Structure 1
Amino acid sequence: MTKLKIAIQKSGRLNEDSLRLLKNCGISIDNGKGQLKASARNFPVEVLYLRNGDIPQYLRDGVVDVAILGENTLVEKGEDLEIIERLGFSKCRVSLAIPKEVKFNSLKDFEGKRIATSYPNTVKKFFKENGITADLHVINGSVEIAPNIGLADAICDIVSSGSTLFKNGLKEVVKMAESEAVLTSGPDLSSEKQEILDTIQFRIQSVLRGQNSKYILLNAPNDKIDSILELLPGMRSPTVLPLAQKGWSSIHTVVEGKRKFWDIIDGLKKRGAEGILVVPIEKMVL
């Protein structure tokens, strides 16, 4: 049987989030502690646990077919590889940081400085675009200590909460790029493997759509329905059902997008909606 080989990071938050996504897609992975390869018991998939930085080359070589990895790694080592789905988790940014006591004026402050980083290609490209010349020191591992031991004047690294920078006496001064987990594919997939990937991608899209949406049920007087419907987006249109109480109806719809959700709820209240019920959606299949 043809199996699709998926690479994910061998440990850490990206590993956990990737496995959770596959599980939510109905793919059960049988893996034990320390295992570097595992098969799904209910789907033609094999998972390989690899170092994040090695995955782009494994994709090019055909060792694995697809991968879930950080976009920052793809920018650094796999710009030739296509992003086929943005996954919305493991979000971070690639930033420049300096010691807290050092005053920062502008990007020009990095001219001629020593920069410690695990992302030399990203830094070189960014500095070239901005006309900055600097001395890069490539470090594989924790770069935050470099300024404290006199190895560098600043660092470039991925930043999530910023707590690691703070603990090491550093401050973030320039955000170079934003990153999230992405699904990417190798250059040549057989038709059989592409069909498996299409199925997985369809399931992923359904899971992500559900995570970013809420199902809303509310009651409203009939003379307020038109005003309320103006606020309610839906997959096609909201559902309106008469209630037992004369002159009232129940309205059902799906609201997508976390940023505008509370604005919509506030607007519904102002326009006469009552008994608003918000229900999470596990998956949304279109």
Structure 2
Amino acid sequence: MTKIRIAIQKSGRLNEDSLKLLKDCGISIDNGKDQLRAAARNFPMEVFYLRNGDIPQYLRDGVVDIAIIGENVLIEKGEDISIAEKLGFSKCRVSLAMPKSKEYRAISDLQGKRIATSYPNTVKNFLKDRGVTADLHIINGSVEIAPNIGLADAICDIVSSGSTLFKNNLKEVEVMLSSEAVLAVSPKISGAGKEVLQKLQFRINSVLQARQSRYVLLNAPNEKLDTIIQILPGMRSPTVLPLAEEGWSSVHTVIKKDKFWEVIDELKSAGAEGILVCPIEKMVL
């Protein structure tokens, strides 16, 4: 079977999250320390460990068929490359920041200012759409120090928790875009490669659905069963089984992780008892 070639970030959190996703998809990677290319043991796949900023060109040239990459990198360097899946991890935002001591009222305050960034295209397009012109200083590396050494009046960078900005006495003034890891596809992927990609996407979707859901088991008095079932947003409808104790039933269902506490509170108020919540490893719809 044709092997699909996937690029992932060489190091860092996105590397770790990407490898975990592949592992959760049941794909075992035979890679040693500092290896830049590795084969999967039980799936037709080769993994290329590349610098994040280089991945869009590798996709464009067809050196790799797919990649797990930050959406922000594609917006900056690969807007012509299609996205097959948004993966829901490695979330961040690309923001403009200024020293805390400087007053900021509106985007027009950046007119004619010096902005240090490693995302020049993103900044240029964002400012152009708002009628603002600025002097961009392209820096590959840590840009947070630029205002402190007089190199720039503001910066554009990735923000996750905001702790790096805080440490450098900076404040976030504009969020230009929100980003997460995505599965990107080369425009030169072969027909056989697309077939393997479909198999991979099936596994990925099963894992992502499971990550977003929780399996719930509870006991309910039969006289309150209808009310409790109406609260539960099951995949189709909850499974209801009689308990050994007369007048009681066991209810099983799946709920979305982001609705968890809201639903649990309603269930308790409706008379549910013995509520058990379990993570789900895979979920095939």
The answer, yes or no, to whether TM exceeds 0.5 is: yes
Task: State the partner residue of 2:179.
Answer: 179
CA distance in structure 2 between the aligned counterparts of 1:150 and 1:70, rounded to whole angstroms = 30
Where do 1:158-197 residues align within 5 Å?
A: 158-197=158-197
Superposed CA offset, 1:203-236 (max 9, x none): 0000010011000000111111111111101111
Identify the residue that residue 261 of structure 2 maps to in structure 1.
262
Alignment of 1:56-205 (within 5 A): 56-205=56-205
Structure 2: gaps (5+ residues): none
2:61–2:188: 8 Å Cα contact kept in structure 1?
Answer: no
Shift of 1:260: 1.4
Q: C-alpha distance in 1, partners of 2:118/2:9? A: 17
Identity in percent: 73
Quote the offset at 1:189 in angstroms.
2.0
- One-letter identity of the residue aligned with 1:273: A
Give TM-score, length-normalised by structure 1. 0.98
CA deviation digits over 1:95-124, x for unaligned, max 9?
Answer: 000011112111111111000000011001
| TM-score for the superposition, normalised by structure 2 | 0.98
Moved over 2 A (4+): none
Match of 2:270?
Answer: 271
* Matched residues, number: 285
CA distance in 2, matches of 1:67, 1:175: 26
Matched, 1:19 2:16: no
Task: Tell me how far apart the structure 2 counterparts of residues 107 and 60 of structure 1 sit (CA, whole Å).
Answer: 34
Residues 212 and 258, structure 2, Cα contact 8 Å, conserved in 1: no
User: How large is the Cα RMSD of the aligned pairs?
Assistant: 0.8
Alpha carbons 2:52, 2:73 under 8 Å: kept:
yes
Question: What corresponds to 2:8 in structure 1?
Answer: 8
Listed one character per residue, the Cα deviations across residues 128-153 of structure 1 (whole Å, up to 9, x for unaligned) are 11111111111111111111111100
Quick check: 190-199 or 115-124, which moved more? 190-199
